Structure 1
Amino acid sequence: MRALSLLAVCLGLAAVATEKPHPCSKRQTGGGGGSFKGLEYPEGKIIAERFSYDTPSQQARVRALIVHHNQTSFVDLLLLYKEGVSYEISYPNQTCKKAPLKTPFRPIEIPPDAKLLGKMVLGTNSAPGMGGVLINSWAGAVPVLKAKYKLTFTEFGCLPISSQIHVENVGLILTSFYDLVIGIEDPNEFIPPPSCDKAELQQLENEELKDFLRFFI
């Protein structure tokens, strides 16, 4: 498993490090993330998730623990964008809900129109073995969603570090990424479990899922 810290070996390439950063996208990756939604209003949500996504195949898997108003819930979502379906899986109950997936696939990436704010080292390279990582910060806006964002990605590998997204009438969503893995560890990650074989297509009633998908994927 190639962890994020392995990117530090590239930092000795001074000539490469001085090149101008450019927007990028990672085709396949997985790892963990933590989100705090609603810093600017009282109804905040804390989300911890594990995710995998595959850009060429347009599919993603998200397992999330959501804490909201001192209530905890667990979500396991399989999102197959090319097929236009999503699965909400519950292993304890051996149930599976199948629903139409109408939103387009959006890879975790730096948008082409994002503006570079600057580059810096996460940690330090002042001494051998410190393992600092070169990162770039970007900013931009999505007018259709009335949202502004600030993203931080690694210079080498194009891996996400953090994101700050402010959405009008919603608030601020902060996300940190960790334990990232390049590639897909489990080839069965995007195969629905047997409990989904006979699931009938229906509309999901859980608005929490819609919020989660909108701001994470």
Structure 2
Amino acid sequence: MRAFVLFVCLSVGCLAQRPKPCTSPPLLTGSLSVSTQDEKLMVYAKYEYDALGKRIRLSEFGSYENRTFHVDMLLLFREGVVYKINRKNQTCTMKPLSADFHPMEIPRNASLLGQVVVGSSSGPGQGVLVNTWTGELKMKRGPARYMSTVTEFGCIPVSSLFHTKHGWMVTSFFNNVIGLVEPQWLIPPSFCKGAQLEKSLEEDPVTFFSLF
């Protein structure tokens, strides 16, 4: 009986430990949606994320200032290039990528806002334990505030609020899978082989590195 009581006490002690900043799995596949405070931007995207090779593939469609758009991009941060891919026309453009790679993680200096159960804690499988963190990131354009929610177990992204020139940008993650479902997505298609690097980089409505 004493051993059982000791086990329960140790279990409660483990559950009561204060959450710590974490890093999401290095290989992730899933979907996300994005909206801005000024309601100018609405985006739905599928993504493949490779923190080991610093590669990201985004297939987005949405609306920006009441105009719809579709963008298929492969961002290669080590090479410093981004491919814009048009599979329908079998065409590809290549432009310089000057942004730094930011892994999906909770920075060490983040402050814990709270821990809650999303859904219900009444029964098994009815809810997910998540942690919400807040802080400030140093960006090229100056400091930016953020609030990010990740799962307690696995550090899987759930949502992120990031302050941009549009005001607060809200990103929600769903259908996340650990690993690369289609690893070939992170390799430029064969018809991109002859693409020439363009000098200028026009600003897109939204890209992955501007979300987090």
Matched pairs, number: 199
Deviation track 1:17-67 (CA, whole Å, cap 9, x = no partner) reads 322211111211110000002x1x36x100111111111111111111121
Residue identity matched to 1:138: W
The Cα RMSD (Å) is 1.9
Alignment partner, residue 155 of structure 1:
152
Structure 1 pair 16/142, CA: closer, same or farther in 2 (3 Å)? same
Residue identity matched to 2:191: S
Q: CA deviation at 1:163?
A: 0.8
Q: Find the partner of 1:139 among 134, 143, 161.
A: 134
Native 8 Å contact 1:45 1:67 kept in 2: yes
What 5-or-longer segments of structure 1 have no aligned partner?
1-12
Q: CA deviation at 1:206?
A: 3.6
Native 8 Å contact 2:169 2:211 kept in 1: no
1:1-217 mapped onto 2 (5 Å cutoff): 16-26=14-24, 27-37=26-36, 39=37, 41=38, 44-130=40-126, 132-144=127-139, 145-167=142-164, 169-203=165-199, 205-208=201-204, 211-216=206-211
Task: State how far apart, in whole Å, the 1-side matches of 2:70 and 2:196 are.
Answer: 22
What 5-or-longer segments of structure 2 have no aligned partner?
1-10
Native 8 Å contact 2:151 2:157 kept in 1: yes
Task: State how far apart, in whole Å, the 1-side matches of 2:67 and 2:162 are.
Answer: 24
Structure 1 SS opposite 2:172: strand
Q: CA deviation at 1:91?
A: 1.0
Native 8 Å contact 2:101 2:209 kept in 1: no
Structure 2 SS opposite 1:146: strand
Question: Which protein has the larger Cα radius of gyration, Structure 1 or Structure 2?
Answer: 2
Task: State how far apart, in whole Å, the 2-side matches of 1:103 and 1:84 are.
Answer: 8
Task: State how far apart, in whole Å, the 2-side matches of 1:204 and 1:177 are.
Answer: 31
Task: State how far apart, in whole Å, the 2-side matches of 1:126 and 1:66 are.
Answer: 37
Residue identity matched to 1:25: T
Structure 1 pair 45/85, CA: closer, same or farther in 2 (3 Å)? same
TM-score of the superposition, structure 2-length normalised? 0.86
Task: State how far apart, in whole Å, the 2-side matches of 1:33 and 1:129 are.
Answer: 22
Q: CA deviation at 1:216?
A: 2.3
Percent identity over the alignment is: 36
Residue identity matched to 1:160: P
Task: State how far apart, in whole Å, the 2-side matches of 1:31 and 1:204 are.
Answer: 30
Native 8 Å contact 2:92 2:191 kept in 1: yes
